[in-house]
Structure 1
Amino acid sequence: MKKLYTYAIALMLTAGPTMADEPEVVDVTATQTGDTWRFDVSILHPDSGWDHYADGWEVIDAEGNQLGLRPLAHPHENEQPFTRSQGGIVIPDGTTEVYIRTRDNVDGWFTTRTAVTLD
């Protein structure tokens, strides 16, 4: 029992407080028009005003190369989750999957990536 208790404490200590504040991608729609793509991304984040808010998302490839960027210019504390779009994104030929990565104005870019399969 003591071993389990020690493990539980260690697990709680490794889960930093910023992880709870990570902007979460809750929905993505990718639409191709000609040679470019439009991404509609819905994000859930406990925005608390100008001091802490989700301030952007990006489309990246499997190697982490940025294909598109959507800055978010203001907090959305009264609109959760919220959806913002970015069009004109060029996806290299043969790419069948990209990823959405989020950031906030306190912690910067997060390592969590949401996979999006391109049809």
Structure 2
Amino acid sequence: MAETERENIRESTLEGLDAAARKGKHGGRPPVITDGMLHTVLRRRADGETVEQIRPDLIIPAGKRKGHNPSLSSIYRAQAGGDARAAARAPGRRSRARNQEPEAGRREAT
């Protein structure tokens, strides 16, 4: 009885998540570093500025810390992810994850 109820709850939850995804909605915390902020960071870092110099000009647009500056670790984390995304978009390049062998004990997706 309890297993059936649990399965019904799980199915309803998954259906709701699928419906939200079709509408373009997703749950979770809003990002601290937006795509525009990341673009600014990458451009200014390429010009030789340090993250410490860039940080005061960045303002978190939404969420609990709205109106504050992001932490240095958030900027560094976004910068590392942004560099990886830019490299993956480069023509003729495959992302690092695709070139790696699957981990031991893990099956490759089919």
Q: Normalized per residue, which structure has more strand?
A: 1
Q: Which has the higher contact order (CA 8 A, sep 6+)?
A: 1
Rg larger in structure: 2
TM-score, normalised relative to structure 1? 0.27
TM-score by length of 2: 0.29
**Structure whose residues are more often helix by fraction:** 2
